[in-house]
Amino acid sequence: METNFGIIDWLIVAGYLGATVLIALKVRNSESGLADFLVAGRGIRTSLGVATMVGSELGLVTVVYSAQKGFTGGLAALHIPLVAGIVTLLVGWTGFIVGPLRRAGVMTIPEYYEQRFGRRIRVFGGMLLAFAGILNMGLFLKAGSIFVTALTGLESAVAVKWVMTGLIALVLVYVVSGGMVAVVITDYIQFVVLSAGLLISCVLAVRSVGWAEVVAAVETVHDRAGFDPFATGGFGADYVIWMIFTAGLVSCALWPTAVARACSAESEAVVRRLYMLSSIGFVIRFLIPNLLGICALAYAVSEPAMAARFLPGGAPAGSEETLAALPVFLGQILPAGLIGLVAAGMLAAFMSTHDSYLLCWSSVLVQDVVAPLRRREMTAKQRLLLIRILIVLIGGFLLIWSLWYPLQQDLWDYMAVTGAVYFSGAFVVLVGGLYTRRASPLGAGLALAAGSCAALGLAPLQQALGLDALLASFGWSLDGETAGLTSVALATTGMVIGSMVRPVTRPGPGHPARAGEAS
């Protein structure tokens, strides 16, 4: 389709990405140890913490899936940023989960599992976390390349594959070289550039279609369900509760990349301030792309070519198609120069998200699975080498998964379900471990195992197991939010039963009864 992306924009993108990689290579020698590589020596203060936290979470993939949610859900999708902001503010205010975690002085959540429940739970929790996390980012490359190709007008299938390969290669060079300090630097640059670019894009998008037209288009396509998130036929109350949990609590207090920021902060006071200030960032990471997606919907209603592609028969097209609605829209309304800046910011955001996630999952595998299983202590040098090898291997997997997995639901819903494989159990284990004395290792193990049932919310997995046909024969269906909420309930039940059957006999160093001793 038509786009305003031109040579000047290509130059801006190339210059920006080149400069970012150079910075990563420059800080390479300044990182001396494992703590520097993973948590930047715990030297991050409030302002930089806020910038990197928002920078890391406001990625290209977030923009793509949130815009899709705005396109397919209308203004009612704005309940997601609303609950995300409120919950993050409450977490900062109360220090719920993140405060005691920082006090525990751990680098990862599974490390806390070991303190509180023993080594086996750490290894099991680490494996589940890495599995869910890698699966969760499995479609990042696809989303990123669809965005790039649609924005630049290179929309052939071959171009998408080449862009995927090029993007992952760039990220791998960068993250293997740099570590956490490089991640912090790019997160900061990306926060400033992308925030400015997206704020300007929002103003231009609303001006180009008009707010009254946005409201009219949402009414035409989605009717009442496009405004009221509780309306039947739209999101519904169960989806809103699911969002309070996933977009709210999980995003800020349970997802390891966010928790890594809490563990990197100088003190618990900094953590709480960081979360309270970042709450507006957690609103914005969903709100801006939601709004742009809604504007793209209004634009599609008024443009016959867009309507034919993205609104066939007056309803939103399939999930892989609607991912491209935002970049096509931006390619047509943004002027040359600005579009290059937005593209460069988006690509930097893509790298920023990838580097944080690759570093996170590979370090979980090494620190929480491989190292505890080995009889001999691993040296810091061995750990760093293994982390770098795993980063490359995970990168290869991402490329294959992005090429082959058939996305049959909105990208955000895919991510919520895959993430739930980890966080349904982790939520119960962390709350049980941090705030109760009775939570036992057996309870924790059962909770983690039960939480992984959330994977049944994935449509292709249901088809592979024949579950969809079985449920259909009873007139039922299992959507992502039902599977996720059920897995949380199952995990809670597992924790209660396991802790009653085999209670805690000798409290470990992370047990609330020994809170004052370790530190």
Task: Extract the tokens encoding 97.
Answer: 């989960």
- Note the Cα 340 to chain centre separation in Å: 25
Q: What residue ranges bind other proteins (CB under 8 A)?
A: 27, 30-32, 36, 40-41, 43-52, 54, 75-76, 78, 81-82, 85, 181, 184-185, 188, 191-192, 195-196, 199, 202, 211, 215, 218, 227-228, 266-267, 269-270, 273, 277, 280-281, 283-284, 287-288, 291
Q: Smallest distance from the beta carbon of 192 to other proteins, in angstroms?
A: 5
The string over 195-216, giving b where at least 16 C-beta atoms fall within 10 Å of a residue's C-beta and e elsewhere, is: bebbeebbebbbeebeeebbbe
Nearer to other proteins, 158 or 212 (CB): 212
Question: 59 and 288 in contact (C-beta within 8 Å)?
Answer: no
Cα–Cα distance measured from residue 180 to residue 356, given in angstroms and rounded to the nearest whole number: 8
Q: Smallest distance from the beta carbon of 224 to other proteins, in angstroms?
A: 9
Q: Smallest distance from the beta carbon of 203 to other proteins, in angstroms?
A: 8
Question: 50 and 278 in contact (C-beta within 8 Å)?
Answer: yes
Nearer to other proteins, 114 or 187 (CB): 187
Nearer to other proteins, 226 or 457 (CB): 226
Q: Smallest distance from the beta carbon of 291 to other proteins, in angstroms?
A: 6
Nearer to other proteins, 189 or 344 (CB): 189
Nearer to other proteins, 155 or 266 (CB): 266
Q: Smallest distance from the beta carbon of 403 to other proteins, in angstroms?
A: 36
82 vs 47, 90, 198, 253, 258, CA distance in Å?
Answer: 23, 13, 19, 16, 18
Question: 9 and 337 in contact (C-beta within 8 Å)?
Answer: yes
Residue 131 backbone phi and psi in degrees, to 5: -60, -50
Which are the contacts of 482, defined by CB distance < 8 A and separation ≥ 6? 238, 457
Dump the DSSP string for 317-334.
Answer: --HHHHTTHHHHHHHHHS
309 vs 63, 122, 301, 318, 506, CA distance in Å?
Answer: 20, 48, 11, 10, 63
Q: Smallest distance from the beta carbon of 91 to other proteins, in angstroms?
A: 17
The string over 476-508, giving b where at least 16 C-beta atoms fall within 10 Å of a residue's C-beta and e elsewhere, is: eebbbbbbbbbbbebbbebbbebbeeeebeeeb
Nearer to other proteins, 37 or 255 (CB): 37
Dihedral over alpha carbons 285, 286, 287, 292 (to 10 degrees): 100
Question: 411 and 139 in contact (C-beta within 8 Å)?
Answer: yes
Question: 219 and 297 in contact (C-beta within 8 Å)?
Answer: no
Nearer to other proteins, 219 or 320 (CB): 219
Burial class (CB in 10 A: 0-12, 13-18, 19+), 392: middle
Q: Smallest distance from the beta carbon of 201 to other proteins, in angstroms?
A: 11
Q: Smallest distance from the beta carbon of 89 to other proteins, in angstroms?
A: 12
Nearer to other proteins, 27 or 456 (CB): 27
Identify residue 358 by its one-letter amino acid code: L
Q: Smallest distance from the beta carbon of 324 to other proteins, in angstroms?
A: 24
Task: Extract the tokens encoding 11.
Answer: 């130059």
Nearer to other proteins, 202 or 378 (CB): 202
Dihedral over alpha carbons 343, 295, 480, 316 (to 10 degrees): -110
Instruction: Look at the block and give the residue holding tokens 């919950």.
Output: 87
Nearer to other proteins, 326 or 390 (CB): 326
Nearer to other proteins, 193 or 434 (CB): 193
Q: Smallest distance from the beta carbon of 295 to other proteins, in angstroms?
A: 11
Neighbours of 369 (CB within 10 A): 18
Q: Smallest distance from the beta carbon of 228 to other proteins, in angstroms?
A: 6
Task: Extract the tokens encoding 506.
Answer: 């000798």
Nearer to other proteins, 29 or 156 (CB): 29
Q: Smallest distance from the beta carbon of 240 to other proteins, in angstroms?
A: 14
Cα–Cα distance measured from residue 365 to residue 168, given in angstroms and rounded to the nearest whole number: 20
